Structure 1
Amino acid sequence: MEIKEVRNVLKAPAPHMVGDGFRVHNFFPSGYEIDMSPFFLMDYGSKIEFSARKEPRGVGVHPHRGFETVTIAYQGAVAHHDSSGNSGIIYPGDVQWMTAASGILHKEYHEQAYSLAGGPFQMVQLWVNLPAKDKMSTPKYQAVKQADMAKFILPNEGGVIEIIAGNYQGIKGNASTFTPIELYNARLNKGAKANFDFNSSYNTGFMIIEGSVKINDSEIAYANNFVHFKNKGELIEMEALENSVILILSGEPIDEPIVQYGPFLMNTEDEINQAISDYNQGRFGYLEE
């Protein structure tokens, strides 16, 4: 076993708004041209204060096909609805894992009580690609609440590893995945160390949500940095230089062609054209604005 070395420590790209409720830094695919398959997109909503407002900010009804959206809340609260009849509220520490697959309509916006009060807001949304054989499977929804999340408690009051998906130290995450994915939140206290062991071929990255960390006793990464690792070696050691929160992503690449058009992520142009046609003909269901 050898050390998985850091390829780059990437600073947050300039932010942009998604709807009027989500200010995000797109680390990939547009911010940096890095291969993080099966993770196709990562929007990081760095900490921002929203003023109180009666009418919640957010994103109106929009379609998805061919992938999954994973929304991880750190501060603030997000409400959502989809055309399969699923709805819910994502509070700090919660995760919403929506499999759009064959097609779904979706809307997401600030939860009413949070909107009325205003306050800090921070989140991550991932787009997880699906293999060709699963792209037209039935949509589904997984809510992973903080209270129910699988956790590994680090020794000596070092903190906790929350396992959203995958397996850490023999503890399995709640979310089921179509391809091998490791997705954790590491909440480390100052001075704590945590070790990770990922397949050398897996695409791996750490999003520093809060604090600062030292990786492999060499590279230092700060809040709002993304640490991108080389596809070589397996072992990563992380030390918290202060109380820190880190989102950890690692997954087996999907070696298939990708064609993206807006909210559709398919394998061929013909499939994109079919998605547009199906959407225009109302085949994604109905969802009220």
Structure 2
Amino acid sequence: MEANIKPVSAVLNAPAPHMVGDGFRVHNFFPNGYKIKMSPFFMLDYNAKIAFSARNEPRGVSVHPHRGFETVTIAYHGAVAHHDSAGNSGVIYPGDVQWMTAASGILHKEYHEAEYSKTGGDFQMVQLWVNLPAKDKMSPPKYQAIKHDEIATHVLPENAGLIEVIAGSYQDVKGSASTFTPINVYNAKLNQGGKVSLSFPADYNTGFVIIEGKIRVNGSEIADTDQFIYFKNEGTEIEIEAMENTVILILSGEPINEPIAQYGPFLMNTPEEIQQAINDYNQGKFGYLEE
């Protein structure tokens, strides 16, 4: 194998699922499912494709706070409506991305979109928690609603497929989302037999979720739908071949080498900052959001 290949560390099966609220049946790949180093990505909840039955009262997660990080929701099937205490609201449809910077603090709720809820059907989502460096944890909350048709795209040669660049860059295409630290987030949509080469710095933490399909990586390891491929922090080059029509969520980022203190929906650097977050939340400093 070439010396500059980034080797696969493990191909991981989806951990046992659990419910978040009554609307999201998720497999937590990290930090609970597997103890892997993926900073600046702190958490990956993967709602593998399932069918929800029709229901008039939308399923979801009621009002909850966040501080110290960003939530990134990527929709593949189904639709999610959301509201926050900064006055933002909207619907995340298939292909859309919601990039919410909670930072100094926000209240948030997310539910199955009303029309989707009434019909039911396939539902598949990813939610990431992206850590913020200490200097940015208390910056003002902000929100990036990225519609599918706004996502920057690189079309691969030889009908191999395309790369949707949500954040970071691929070749000459710059991602649609602004980030606080160097991060690459792509959806690679490959046709059967399609090949793509990726290059990330050796020290970047890198992993893929196989959203659908099956791939061969670096000419050897095979990963299937709902598996996670975790790479070693060495080498730079990754070769992917799609063994069938495939969608892959690609994550790679520069680690944030700072202490972490986490309690529920708060992700800070010290226990004192966690206590401050709890106090601020209890005192109503995160604003107001109706249940």
Q: 1:185 aligns with which of 175, 178, 187?
A: 187
Query: Corresponding residue for 2:277?
Result: 275
Query: Corresponding residue for 2:244?
Result: 242
How far 1:140 moved relative to its partner? Answer: 0.1
How far 1:146 moved relative to its partner? Answer: 0.5
Query: Corresponding residue for 1:214?
Result: 216
Q: 2:37 aligns with which of 32, 35, 38?
A: 35
Q: 1:83 aligns with which of 82, 85, 88?
A: 85
Unpaired segments ≥5 residues, structure 1: none
How many corresponding residue pairs? 289
Unpaired segments ≥5 residues, structure 2: none
Q: Deviations over 1:220-267 (max 9, x none)?
A: 000000000000000000000000000000000000000000000000
Q: 2:66 aligns with which of 64, 67, 71?
A: 64
SS in 1 for 2:193: coil
Q: Deviations over 1:69-111 (max 9, x none)?
A: 0000000000000000001100000000000000000000000
Q: Deviations over 1:5-48 (max 9, x none)?
A: 00000000000000000000000000000010000000000000
Among all aligned residue pairs of Structure 1 and Structure 2, give the percentage whose two residues are the same amino acid.
73
Q: 1:203 aligns with which of 192, 202, 205?
A: 205
CA distance in 2, matches of 1:269, 1:225: 34
SS in 2 for 1:114: helix
Query: Corresponding residue for 2:173?
Result: 171
Which aligned runs of 4 or more in structure 1 are off by greater than 6 angstroms?
Answer: none
SS in 1 for 2:36: coil
CA distance in 1, matches of 2:114, 2:160: 35
CA distance in 2, matches of 1:176, 1:149: 12
Letter in 2 for 1:16: H
Query: Corresponding residue for 2:99?
Result: 97
- Provide the aligned C-alpha RMSD in A: 0.5
SS in 2 for 1:274: helix
Q: Spell out the pairing of 1:117-136 with structure 2 (5 A cutoff).
A: 117-136=119-138
Query: Corresponding residue for 2:52?
Result: 50
How far 1:158 moved relative to its partner? Answer: 1.3
SS in 1 for 2:117: helix
How far 1:155 moved relative to its partner? Answer: 1.1
Query: Corresponding residue for 2:116?
Result: 114
CA distance in 2, matches of 1:247, 1:202: 16
How far 1:156 moved relative to its partner? Answer: 1.8
TM-score normalised by structure 1 residue count: 0.99
CA distance in 2, matches of 1:56, 1:149: 28
Q: 1:251 aligns with which of 250, 253, 258?
A: 253
CA distance in 2, matches of 1:90, 1:161: 20
Letter in 1 for 2:239: E
Letter in 1 for 2:138: M
How far 1:144 moved relative to its partner? Answer: 1.0
Query: Corresponding residue for 2:20?
Result: 18
Letter in 2 for 1:101: A
